[in-house]
Every structure is written in structure tokens, then in C-alpha cells.
Amino acid sequence: MQVLLEDVGYAYGDLPVLDGVSFAVGEGETAALIGPSGCGKSTLLNLVGGLLAQQTGRIATLGAAPAGCLNPLTFVFQDFALLPWRSVAGNVALALEHHGLGRAAQDARIAEVLGLCGLSDFADALPKQLSGGMRQRVGIARAIAVKPAVLLMDEPLSALDAQTRELLMEDLIAIWARERTTTLYVTHNLTEAVRLADKVVVLSRRPGRIKRIVGIPVPVAERQKPEHAGLLKNLHDDLWGLIKTEAQVADREMQHV
């Protein structure tokens, strides 16, 4: 499934945060959305996911959802958003139990995604008993349990330490390679964007407008190879060059607010 955004704008009251944003995320493609703080990245993700009502422009999906898809547009949240009173399996079940699956089918699906995310031994654990990385794995397991057509990831690794982030990036690459899910990935972290995305959509500071769309001409699976290190470093630096000045201005504005 593709995601198409055409001239999208949004304002919180009198405060415009997005203006004339147009781009497409192709079938099976991962697009990273970067930009200075407050440029409307998360707002855009919430608009695409239907958690905010569209104001101007048009957001549409194109193409059929994959077989067995229960929730075409599915979020993975920065703060994990796990129900603390439910076990790991129970949190995954929340996404499934209103779809009329039989108990056996639901249990099988839960066992499968917990296995994929390395959580089989923690099915009965409560979120408070897990580390941050494990909690986000539960969030990812819950998301892939519904076989989404589009994954909407809102800074999914930003609450994690560097080592856990590395491990989860590898897990995400493996999941995307297997599921071929279209993904819109919001991040502040340029290293994540360069490592995970097929293309990087750079937004200007508020109100967010498309500043540049940068393709990454190295397959995701090969980006750890030494021969690509120089190119990826240059891309990283180019992206930083695109947002550095505006990020500094946005940072001062945020402090002022």
C-alpha cells in the first residue's frame, strides 16, 4: 500500500505547524521524516494515521492491504503505550481481540509475533518487569500482529539507550525485509534515518514545509558494509547541513516558548 500526501496543512488554533506538504511513500518503502523540533513531524504522522482530523490538503492510501491485514494504518509509539495491567501477550491481544478471530487463531498469532520479536519467554510478564527495549519490542509485536499495510513509527527508539537502539534497528530491518511493510518513520536521529530509510523527507522549521527529499542509494541490508561508510557519512552530514541552522533557531524558539 502506498501513502500519498498532497498539499497537507495543519494549524493548532492560530499556530500553523504544517504547510503544503506533499510526498509519497511507495509500496514497501521506508520514508524517514526529519526536521527541527516543533516542525510538525508527529502531527503529520497523526494526520496520516487518522488520529488528527485533516484540515487542508489530502491524505490517501493507494493499493490493497496485504492478506490478513486487520488494521491498515498502525502506530508504534515513542512511549510504547502499553497497558500496565496487561501481560505482554495481553497487550498484543488488545490489538486482535475485537476482530472476531477465534481464540486459537488469536493465540497462534500472538505466539508467532512474540517469537519474531524475541519475546516468547516473556509472554506472561507485565510491562513494568521489562526493560525499555523489551517494552518497545512489545509495541512492535503488537503492531505487526495486525499485519499492517502501513507502519507509522513515532520516534520509536528515542526513549532507548544507544545499545538497545542498535539492537532494535537490526530487528526492524529484519522485520521490514520479511514483511515488506510500507513505513513512515519519524525521528530526530539522523543516524537512524540514514541507517533505516529508503528516503529521507526533510521538513523546514515551523510551519513545516518539505525542504528536500533525499534518496539513500544503498540497500538497507548493505549499509553496515565498510565500502558504503563514506557515502552514508556524507549523506548524514548533508542532512545535518540541511537542518542545522533551522534546528538551532527552533531550539531557541522552543526555549523562548
Kindly determine how many residues on this chain lie close enough to bind other proteins according to the rule CB under 8 A: 22
**Residue span binding other proteins (CB under 8 A) among the ranges 15-23, 65-73, 110-118, 238-246:** 65-73
Q: Minimum distance from CB of 83 to other proteins (Å)?
A: 6
Q: Is 223 within 8 Å of 232 (Cβ atoms)?
A: yes
Within residues 25-64, the interface with other proteins by CB under 8 A covers 49-51
Q: In whole angstroms, give the CA distance from residue 234 to residue 252.
A: 27
Phi, psi of 51, deg, nearest 5: -90, -10
**Residue span binding other proteins (CB under 8 A) among the ranges 4-12, 18-26, 31-39, 68-76:** 68-76
**Residue span binding other proteins (CB under 8 A) among the ranges 30-38, 74-82, 169-177, 226-234:** 74-82
Q: In whole angstroms, give the CA distance from residue 223 to residue 229.
A: 7
Burial code of 138-162, b = ≥16 C-beta within 10 A, e = fewer? bbbbbbbbbbbbbbbbbbbbebbee
**Residue span binding other proteins (CB under 8 A) among the ranges 12-20, 83-91, 208-216, 233-241:** 83-91
Does position 126 interact with other proteins (CB under 8 A)? The reply is yes
Beta strands in the chain (DSSP E): 2-12, 15-25, 30-34, 56-62, 73-76, 150-154, 182-186, 199-203, 210-215
Q: Minimum distance from CB of 227 to other proteins (Å)?
A: 38
Cell of 216: 539513500
Does position 83 interact with other proteins (CB under 8 A)? The reply is yes
**Residue span binding other proteins (CB under 8 A) among the ranges 16-24, 75-83, 108-116, 130-138:** 75-83
**Closest by CA position to 63, among listed 236, 182, 151:** 182
Phi, psi of 201, deg, nearest 5: -95, 115
Does position 81 interact with other proteins (CB under 8 A)? The reply is yes
Nearer of residues 31 and 146 to other proteins, judged by Cβ: 146
Q: Which of 85, 212, 248, 252 binds other proteins (CB under 8 A)?
A: 85
DSSP code per residue over 105-174: HHHHHHHHHHHHTT-GGGTT--GGGS-HHHHHHHHHHHHHHT--SEEEEESTTTTS-HHHHHHHHHHHHH
Does position 98 interact with other proteins (CB under 8 A)? The reply is yes
Nearer of residues 18 and 92 to other proteins, judged by Cβ: 92
Does position 79 interact with other proteins (CB under 8 A)? The reply is yes
The footprint of other proteins (CB under 8 A) covers 49-51, 70-71, 73-75, 77, 79, 81, 83-86, 94-95, 98, 126, 128, 142, 146
